[in-house]
Structure 1
Amino acid sequence: MKGDKNVDVQALKDIANKLRIDSIVATNASKSGHPTSCASMAEIMSVLFFHTMRYKISAPRDPSADRFILSKGHAAPILYAAWAEAGLFPVEELKNLRKIDNDLEGHPTPRLNFVDVGTGSLGQGLAVAAGMAYVGKYFDQAPYRVYCLVGDGEAAEGSIWESLHFASHYKLDNLVVIFDVNRLGQSEPTSLQHHVEVYDARLKSFGFHSLVVDGHDVTELVKAFDEAATVTGKPTALVAKTFKGKGFPGIEDLENWHGKALGADGEKIIKHLQSQIKNNTISLKPKAPLAEAPRVHIGDITLSSPPAYKQGEQVATRLAYGTALKKIADTNLRVIALDGDTKNSTFSDKLRNAYPERYIECFIAEQNLVGVATGAACRDRTVAFVSTFAAFFTRTFDQIRMGAISQSNINLAGSHCGVSIGEDGPSQMGLEDLALFRAVPTATVFYPSDAVSTERAVELAANTKGICYIRTSRPNTSMLYPNDEVFKVGQLTLFQSALFNMYFGLLAFCGQPSGTAPDCAMMFSLGINARVLDPFTIKPLDEAAVLANARACGGRIVVVEDHYQAGGIGEAVLSAVALQRDVVVKHIYVTEVPRSGPPAALLDKYGLSAPHIAAAAKAVLKA
């Protein structure tokens, strides 16, 4: 590489030291941050941003540009410094790091126009990068590449290895993973420290083209990244041996400097780093993307045909989910489905059977499943629908939480909710899922009660920003709605008949007879008139309608749900009426960890059957 006229080695070294200085200045200004974690990756960032990556300063999220994901998000200052030195914004702005009125936050978020996803909850960036790379290779079929920098500390996370397996299985040769092996974690050395040969062997065993490099040698890095661009049929990993605090005399490779600004030591170190710089003027500019990615349209998605069910027909909502998923895929080429080996239970296989090229099997690795979907949806490249059992989304809560921070638009469908699944038992019963998704600030939570409303929930979710969750059930249930019923997010429905499904959460507003209250003979066979309402979306809940119907029924409400008490429909209703005088709510829910058994027997055992609901209605009228 020495003497290569196409590579200005000294300029890349100079930029690396400028990035170190910028990181010290920024963290000293905020009196917090991770300058030593930045220092270990300075040469990597210099080579990536000023030699290897193709992108546009004028359009940081251009669909045609290379992507960079900083999985070790605590090293945010050096990411900000790279974009500043490239010319996106003034370097002086770095002094506003972590200020409340500035978007240069402690860890990256998409409030910044050059950040695709929020990172910092460790172990998640690689799944996102893999999702981006999958879209680039198989959907966009464009030459942009994806680079993901992973810390050696977070390499202990199992989700990293889920993602490595996924990337290798799908031969994502447009993905390069860089392991910053700087030996030190937060509180002590990492388990492998500088045993780069172990990382190398493991990565090779996972099917990667793995290269061990000196992470502070720009010549080696240039050569390695250039080699990665020639590899076909497998992803590449760079195992970079680095030192935490590299270039910081008296601090380099020492413990107890994680997450600390350098303070007074910083000024001396800055002078030392400045003495290493030969030319303060940055002359290297990023290369333009090789080709334009295809333009896509992901709005105004509709079902290819309306629901077409017969009254009296019984259809599981999970089956209707699959039917609707295929229908919206008919009308938009960018609708995709992802699943974790449950496609024949969630019925996402309906899309797979029709459009196999638009289905991504993520196998039984749910954390990676959600992360890949987040990456696939980035830069508005796909409309991603993710399905598995509702219970299994609980293990992905951190990915979902970070998806909200990432302003992600992904759709999640959880089947097999509640005790109504029957004999499979409590490990398979989603009884916490509503609480999980109601806690997510960007989430819309759909709980359709029949096949008609399920199809419309899928259609609405495809057009709703943020994270959407659709709760579906295993048993076959009756039609409640005509096929031409119109549904809206945040609008509940007042049933005008006695027919309803015991498997679903419902609001029964109990009161004296009135002109609009139907005779709900199935639930209230004891001569009680009631209004039975289907909330459709639990978040947002139609609070105005809840209050209006409560008032019309003398302030007496029964809420029934196949879910634990905390965080479900009952608590949503209680929040809606919290400031109302003379409103009494009776909440029926699953009170303990359930057993296996037939669905009807379980619903009765846990108080969700018609006789129990009727008894609750009588009791609340006496309150």
Structure 2
Amino acid sequence: MTYALNLEDRGTEYVTIDPASCPRLDTEDLDALEFLDLCYRTLCAVMFNHASSGHPGGSISSGRFVQSLIYSTMNYDIGDPMDRTADIISYAAGHKALGLYAMWACRNEVVSQTAPDRLPADIRQQLRLEDLLGFRKNPITRTPLYRKFDAKPLDGHPTPETPFVWLSTGPSGVGVGSSVGLALTLKDMHREESPSVHIIEGEGGMTPGRVAEALAAAASSGLDNLFFHVDWNQASIDSDAVTRDGSKRGEYVQWDPCEFLLMHGFNVVYVPDGFDYSQIHAAQNRASAFRNGRPTGLVYRTVKGWQYGIEGSKSHGGGHKFYSEPYFEALRPFEERLGLRFPRFDGEKNPETIEAAFYDSLLTIRKAFEANPEFTRRLGGKVLDCADRHANQPRKLRADAPRLDAVYADGAISPFERPDGCTYEIGSAQTLRGSLAHCLNHVNRLTGGAVLAAAADLYGSTNVSGISAGFGEGFWHPVENPDSRLFSAGGITEDAMGGICSGIASLGYQIGVGSSYGAFIAPLNTICAKTHGIGQQTLRHRAPGEPNRTFVVVCGHAGVKTGEDGPTHAEPQALQVFQENFPGDVMITLTPWDPNELWPLTATALLQRPAVLAPFVTRPSEVIIDRPALGLAPPERAVKGIYKLLSANGRPEGAVVYQGSDVAYAFINGVLPRLQETGMNLDVYYISSVELFDRLDAEEKREIYPSEVAASAMMFTGFTPATTYRWIMSERGREFTHYPWRQGVFLGSGPGDICLEQAGMHGEAQWEIIRRFVSGPR
């Protein structure tokens, strides 16, 4: 039995570049590129030698097809790295960062020597040879040359610290999803004439499951502006036979990259020799010519560590020892061909002397470009051709493109002025998930569609479909359904979905929203939330005025109230994954209990502009209560992050803190009536967002939640004990504090109120615990 993919039915194409028939490059261009690659490969060796760290193998094997992209194929202006209408190159293979930095520095150098006025005036928007002194260095590095040249701290994996880089990549597969998000937002904003996104990856980097998820989403969404460039060298960290290769079994997977891409709905162009510039150029031209509405993969056969002296898996994260004979052997082709000699190191080895030797070696690379002006001019001219082509073929946003900035205009939204669709009458029924969808739909209407949303096959279940109300039903497609604001994330794909949403947000045009059970999406989105936060912070190092670009992780069906689905789904751990686990302004979590709290919380959080917003919303409908009649604070108080839900009349007998809709409604329905009957006098606090509270000044925080309260209060939480320790400081308060797993077991299945009873936190149990807490010694 045999099986073949019918590409005609699938609407995709497969092309193998024929070495015998592909057009040969102009001799002068070819000579200049060979010179460039010699300098580039040598610079990779120099960088690893002086850092004693990095990934030279894949950096070298991918060099020639990346050179073809940035010197010939792409449209961009070297003078404007912040131009969002330019083509983008995205190193999803973050371990190739050494190559990225070397490639950028060589490009900067040829333009510096041939047309310096075309470079950005702000050196923060350049990547100079001098910046390589910061390769794998910490920002507080104090070595003299690093400080003299104000070198960039170039991380071990790419971040937007580097010009033209929009994403932080490195964790395996995450950069593919976020790069797909870049392509999606650009396709939606531009439609027909959208900028291209070129992803750089290797076959090993295709093995994580999140890559399959992201590529499925890309093909299903018709992202014909996405080009996936595969450095197929068969070498990972531990294997030299990663994939199947013809009849030879792969050690990790039994597909080859061409099969993998075709199966996922990509066009494929196969390049037999990824070091032949003519084949590479022909392949990239052919890929650009496809007009079938599909993304395209280009698969280049290469050798990891080509001509470096160490090949295959050994070159992945390993290189020559410091100033060893094998290192000098790697430099020899450069020295012999160009008649230049790199320094030899002697004397004491310390950070200052290593840096001085590194700088002398960088100057040798600079001399190579200076001593070969004909090559340098030709290469510089090719970079300027890319800029001129970009200027002559402008990609304008579509006339009715969304305007995310509308939501941030003065007075556009306010937590204290509710839109009509975000207010719920007393006695009516509403869900937290539905209320969140109404809030984000209002933002969508205000901005003309700047919110793109997806779910893990839970669009209706988590109410995410409501975000697209008024924009069309079904899944977004640039041709077949361009108005919908719901995109296909490839199925049940929380992992890639988070990456895609972060990529959508990164350019600042739109907000990406992903939704699933909080139990699943919070842990699976932790990595992409981290990389997005890193990306937003490092971008401001070279573009200080750039605000955070927010993506939203909807932690739906949160907590004990999802009890019918059992302990696999209704679990309390999700919040502690996000809450207080990110630095600075990266993360805001929301833990509302009343649907009327969603608008003031969402509006406040959006205006605070976190990198990531993570609302925890429950599934069941709730009856909207009469807060004034019950003596409860209005829902707008939630914007402080912690607020006094119920104030004691005079001196309180005790203080109780709540976090979680499940325990809060149990208090409203089971405890509050008893307080009123017995006259027990309590201060009751609710935690609606720890991060919003933390953004208040110190004096206001002390006023809202004084330290003496923390020293005397107890707590009920629908989450884990780790989320309580900051608020409950006394041994006795912690003794009485309750959480779902306090009895040492996972809760069973059943309606939320039954599961809450099993946890010992239903209304009757809460009342008894509070009564004992108040009546005991204080």
Length-normalised TM-score, structure 1: 0.89
- Give the Cα separation in 2 of the matches to 1:502 and 1:63: 41
The aligned residue for residue 600 of structure 2 is 456
**8 Å contact kept, 1:502–1:608:** no
Matched, 1:530 2:682: yes
**8 Å contact kept, 1:304–1:328:** no
**8 Å contact kept, 2:459–2:465:** yes
The aligned residue for residue 521 of structure 1 is 673
**8 Å contact kept, 1:506–1:559:** no
Residue number among 741, 750, 769 corresponding to 1:597 in the alignment: 750
**8 Å contact kept, 2:168–2:534:** yes
Of the structure 1 ranges 557-566 and 476-485, higher mean CA displacement relative to structure 2 is found in: 476-485
**8 Å contact kept, 2:174–2:210:** yes
Structure 1 position 468, deviation (Å): 0.8
Structure 1 position 274, deviation (Å): 5.1
The aligned residue for residue 226 of structure 2 is 175
Alignment of structure 1 residues 69-468 onto 2, 5 Å: 69-87=90-108, 88-101=126-139, 102-141=152-191, 142-192=193-243, 198-213=256-271, 214-232=273-291, 233-248=293-308, 250-253=309-312, 255-262=313-320, 263=322, 264=324, 265-273=326-334, 275=336, 281=376, 282-283=379-380, 284-286=382-384, 287-288=386-387, 289=390, 290-294=393-397, 296-298=403-405, 299-300=407-408, 302=413, 304-305=419-420, 307-333=422-448, 334-356=450-472, 357-362=484-489, 363-393=491-521, 394-407=523-536, 409-438=550-579, 439-441=581-583, 442-463=586-607, 464-468=609-613
Measured against aligned partners, the alpha-carbon deviations of 1:546-566 in whole angstroms (never above 9, x if no partner) come to 776566769431211112333
Structure 1 position 430, deviation (Å): 4.2
Tell me which amino acid in the other structure corresponds to 2:332: K
Of the structure 1 ranges 349-358 and 586-595, higher mean CA displacement relative to structure 2 is found in: 349-358
Max radius of gyration: which structure? 2
- Give the Cα separation in 2 of the matches to 1:478 and 1:449: 11
- Give the Cα separation in 1 of the matches to 2:534 and 2:242: 30
- Give the Cα separation in 1 of the matches to 2:37 and 2:639: 50
**For the structure 1 residues 490 and 75, does the alpha-carbon distance in structure 2 shift closer, same or farther, using more than 3 Å as the test?**
farther
- Give the Cα separation in 2 of the matches to 1:554 and 1:110: 41
Matched, 1:472 2:605: no
- Give the Cα separation in 2 of the matches to 1:551 and 1:582: 15
Structure number having the greater helix percentage: 2
Give unmatched runs, 5+ long, in structure 2.
Answer: 1-21, 109-125, 140-151, 249-254, 339-371, 473-483, 537-548, 649-657
Structure 1 position 598, deviation (Å): 1.9
- Give the Cα separation in 2 of the matches to 1:502 and 1:413: 15
**8 Å contact kept, 1:389–1:430:** no
- Give the Cα separation in 2 of the matches to 1:620 and 1:525: 18
Structure 1 position 76, deviation (Å): 0.4
- Give the Cα separation in 1 of the matches to 2:189 and 2:719: 38
Tell me which amino acid in the other structure corresponds to 1:589: Y
**8 Å contact kept, 1:130–1:175:** yes
Structure 1 position 3, deviation (Å): 5.2
Of the structure 1 ranges 168-177 and 519-528, higher mean CA displacement relative to structure 2 is found in: 519-528
Root-mean-square deviation (CA, aligned residues, Å) is: 3.1
- Give the Cα separation in 2 of the matches to 1:583 and 1:425: 30
% of aligned pairs identical? 23
- Give the Cα separation in 2 of the matches to 1:10 and 1:194: 33
**8 Å contact kept, 1:180–1:239:** yes
**8 Å contact kept, 1:450–1:478:** no
Tell me which amino acid in the other structure corresponds to 1:132: L
- Give the Cα separation in 2 of the matches to 1:210 and 1:523: 69
Of the structure 1 ranges 373-382 and 187-196, higher mean CA displacement relative to structure 2 is found in: 187-196
Tell me which amino acid in the other structure corresponds to 1:119: T
Residue number among 52, 61, 69 corresponding to 1:48 in the alignment: 69
The aligned residue for residue 515 of structure 1 is none
Tell me which amino acid in the other structure corresponds to 1:537: S
- Give the Cα separation in 1 of the matches to 2:260 and 2:172: 20
**8 Å contact kept, 1:443–1:466:** yes
Structure 1 position 507, deviation (Å): 12
- Give the Cα separation in 1 of the matches to 2:639 and 2:329: 59
Length-normalised TM-score, structure 2: 0.72
Structure number having the greater strand percentage: 1
Give unmatched runs, 5+ long, in structure 1.
Answer: 510-518
- Give the Cα separation in 2 of the matches to 1:506 and 1:556: 20
Please state whether the residue corresponding to 2:554 is helix, strand or coil.
Answer: strand
Measured against aligned partners, the alpha-carbon deviations of 1:283-329 in whole angstroms (never above 9, x if no partner) come to 33151233144384434263643732222333211111111121111
Measured against aligned partners, the alpha-carbon deviations of 1:420-456 in whole angstroms (never above 9, x if no partner) come to 1231212222421111111233211111111111122
Measured against aligned partners, the alpha-carbon deviations of 1:461-494 in whole angstroms (never above 9, x if no partner) come to 3332211100101122243557985356543222
Tell me which amino acid in the other structure corresponds to 1:458: T
Measured against aligned partners, the alpha-carbon deviations of 1:333-382 in whole angstroms (never above 9, x if no partner) come to 21222222211111111122321322213121111111111111122120
Tell me which amino acid in the other structure corresponds to 1:503: S
**For the structure 1 residues 6 and 324, does the alpha-carbon distance in structure 2 shift closer, same or farther, using more than 3 Å as the test?**
farther
Of the structure 1 ranges 197-206 and 342-351, higher mean CA displacement relative to structure 2 is found in: 197-206
Matched, 1:616 2:766: no
Please state whether the residue corresponding to 2:770 is helix, strand or coil.
Answer: helix
**8 Å contact kept, 2:717–2:739:** yes
Please state whether the residue corresponding to 1:272 is helix, strand or coil.
Answer: helix
Structure 1 position 258, deviation (Å): 2.5
Measured against aligned partners, the alpha-carbon deviations of 1:134-191 in whole angstroms (never above 9, x if no partner) come to 1222233243100001121121111111112111112211111011111111122243
Residue number among 644, 650, 653 corresponding to 1:494 in the alignment: 644
Of the structure 1 ranges 376-385 and 107-116, higher mean CA displacement relative to structure 2 is found in: 107-116
- Give the Cα separation in 2 of the matches to 1:41 and 1:487: 55
Tell me which amino acid in the other structure corresponds to 2:680: I
Tell me which amino acid in the other structure corresponds to 1:267: F
The aligned residue for residue 503 of structure 1 is 661
**8 Å contact kept, 2:202–2:230:** yes
Please state whether the residue corresponding to 2:199 is helix, strand or coil.
Answer: strand
Residue number among 52, 63, 71 corresponding to 1:31 in the alignment: 52
The aligned residue for residue 9 of structure 2 is none
